[in-house]
């Protein structure tokens, strides 16, 4: 356990002494064998708990979330409330993140309830409310999605940690504020907090926090469509975490890079990164990550899909032709999406003139324009056929042009299943 609260500032009778035992009894889904706990005479129970906590963090970094959970539970067993309240909140924070990654709702809900109970009791037992108190309350508020209240507490913790000269806590406050801004979709503020954090981490050596900072910055830049900056920060995150020999975020880095390339329209490179991420993780443990990766692979690599349409990036991927870059061919892309969105519906010249050029049909203007545009579009997307074979996608009939309803198409980022859920609004890279 990293820190304890000065016992003199606490009212020892304010929190029931049997609370930890009650928690152990409620944790029927996890059994901690007393015989596995070292009991050298030279070590106090508190020191044994601290050792298990450090071991849990080591397993957490090395991606062994099963062992990490057991170590944190053993550390919890050694804790004494209210003296170790802040340490217990950190332990519960790790347990909540592990439950979130493993998508274990029952455990996650139980850990969150315990954290909320301890945070509430702290107000009545602390002699003074310091920066660590406000930081932990902010983290707990985040679990229930109260992002505005969390922000207020993080801001107080940030102010107090500067006054108390606590640079490590200050750095965590900055990452928490950046995360909070991201949750509220305030991406500019998130980047401002990350810039401050980057400056602070040049003074204090916290590699994991630095790696998490780069990873989070990459996510923000992706939301802002600043793809080169996003990729650069994923690179920095990977280098920083490799230097620390920390592997628990490696799969998320690969996933994030793949998502950037997908948004850029480079589906082949995106698919390669998704597949590498899939091969790099233990799916039984990293369940949330495995679902995210599987979703992305299916989105770009369904072998039954003939045409994959990405309007935002003006990219089209045809099953046999590969990725087609429409560049500045805006009119052709509009025609394609109009027909594809309404496959089987015929559009005559009058309808095309109104839908594409926003104009009343004039044969002198539109006849050649429509014929030339559709011809160019076909050359881009139609695979080469033997002489006499019908068009695969754009079909012409007496009533105009239509998109072949038998062709299987998919539209990027539309009607996709939502599996990006997190328990307590936290994930492995979020601050504890």
Residue 178 included in any domain: no
- Boundary of a domain, candidates 105, 128, 151: 128
φ, ψ at 328 (rounded to 5°): -100, 20
Residue 184 included in any domain: no
Q: Between 410 and 173, name the one with better pLDDT.
A: 173
Q: Which domain holds residue 356?
A: 307-407
φ, ψ at 402 (rounded to 5°): -145, 165
Specify the pLDDT at position 33: 54
Residue 37 included in any domain: yes
Q: CA-CA distances (angstroms) from residue 324 to 283, 320, 383, 405?
A: 34, 11, 12, 21
Q: Residue 243 and residue 238: Cα distance in Å, rounded? A: 9
Tokens of 192: 């401002």
φ, ψ at 390 (rounded to 5°): -75, 160
Residue 2 included in any domain: yes
CB 276 within 8 Å of CB 254: yes
Residue 250 included in any domain: no
Contacts of residue 33, defined as CB under 8 A and 6 or more positions apart, other chains included, come to none
Residue 165 included in any domain: no
| Per-residue pLDDT tens over the stretch 281-295 | 999 999 999 999 999
pLDDT at 349 over 80: yes
Total domains in the chain come to 2
pLDDT at 207 over 60: yes
pLDDT at 38 over 60: no
Q: CA-CA distances (angstroms) from residue 368 to 177, 331, 350, 375?
A: 58, 14, 13, 10
Separation of CA 71 from chain center: 25
Per mean pLDDT, which range of 249-263, 265-279, 357-371, 413-427 is the poorest? 413-427
CB 161 within 8 Å of CB 124: no
**H or E, element range at 394:** strand 394-397
Angle at 267 between CA 243 and CA 312, to 5 degrees: 110
| 3-state SS assignment for residue 305 | coil
Specify the pLDDT at position 300: 79
- Boundary of a domain, candidates 128, 149, 178: 128
Q: What is the DSSP string of 343-392?
A: TT--B-HHHHHHHHS-S---HHHHHHHHHHHHHHHHHHHPPP--TTPPPS
Q: Residue 339 and residue 394: Cα distance in Å, rounded? A: 8
Neighbours of 54 (CB within 10 A): 13
**H or E, element range at 294:** helix 287-300
- The CATH number linked to 90 is 1.25.40
Residue 144 included in any domain: no
Q: CA-CA distances (angstroms) from residue 218 to 85, 105, 110, 310, 370?
A: 34, 28, 32, 22, 43
| Per-residue pLDDT tens over the stretch 86-118 | 999 999 999 999 999 999 999 999 999 999 999
Specify the pLDDT at position 320: 85
User: Percentage of the chain with pLDDT > 90?
Assistant: 66
Q: Give the mean model confidence (pLDDT) for residues 15-28.
A: 45
Separation of CA 203 from chain center: 28
């Amino acid at each position: 356990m990293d820190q304890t609260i000065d016992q003199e500032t606490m009212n020892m009778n304010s929190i029931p002494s049997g609370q930890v035992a009650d928690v152990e009894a409620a944790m029927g889904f996890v059994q901690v064998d007393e015989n596995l706990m070292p009991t050298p005479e030279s070590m106090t129970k508190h020191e044994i708990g601290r050792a298990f906590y450090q071991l849990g963090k080591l397993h957490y970094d090395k991606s062994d979330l099963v062992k990490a959970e057991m170590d944190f539970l053993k550390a919890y067993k050694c804790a004494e409330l209210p003296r170790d309240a802040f340490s217990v909140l950190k332990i519960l924070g790790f347990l909540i993140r592990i439950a979130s990654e493993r998508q274990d709702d029952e455990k996650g809900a139980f850990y969150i309830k315990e954290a909320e109970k301890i945070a509430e009791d702290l107000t009545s037992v602390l002699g003074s409310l310091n920066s660590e108190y406000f930081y932990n309350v902010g983290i707990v508020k985040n679990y229930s999605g109260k992002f505005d209240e969390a922000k207020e507490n993080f801001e107080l913790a940030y102010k107090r940690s500067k006054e108390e000269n606590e640079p490590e806590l200050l750095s965590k406050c900055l990452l928490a504020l950046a995360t909070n801004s991201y949750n509220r979709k305030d991406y500019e503020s998130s980047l401002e907090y990350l810039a401050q954090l980057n400056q602070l981490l040049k003074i204090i050596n916290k590699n994991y926090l630095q790696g998490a900072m780069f990873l989070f910055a990459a996510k923000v830049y992706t939301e802002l469509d600043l793809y080169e900056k996003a990729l650069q920060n994923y690179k920095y995150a990977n280098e920083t975490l490799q230097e620390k020999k920390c592997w628990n975020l490696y799969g998320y880095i690969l996933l994030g890079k793949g998502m950037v390339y997908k948004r850029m329209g480079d589906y082949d490179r995106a698919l390669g990164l998704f597949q590498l991420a899939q091969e790099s993780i233990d799916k039984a443990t990293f369940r949330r990550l495995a679902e995210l990766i599987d979703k992305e692979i299916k989105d770009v690599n369904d072998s039954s899909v003939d045409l994959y349409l990405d309007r935002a990036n003006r990219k089209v991927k045809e099953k046999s032709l590969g990725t087609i870059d429409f560049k500045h061919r805006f009119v052709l892309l509009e025609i394609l999406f109009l027909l594809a969105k309404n496959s089987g519906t015929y559009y005559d010249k009058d309808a095309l003139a109104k839908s594409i050029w926003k104009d009343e049909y004039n044969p002198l203007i539109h006849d050649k324009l429509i014929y030339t545009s559709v011809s160019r579009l076909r050359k881009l997307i139609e695979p080469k056929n033997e002489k006499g074979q019908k068009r695969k996608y754009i079909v012409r009939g007496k009533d105009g042009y239509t998109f072949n309803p038998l062709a299987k198409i998919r539209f990027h980022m539309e009607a996709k299943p939502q599996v990006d859920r997190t328990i307590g609004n936290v994930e492995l890279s979020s601050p504890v």
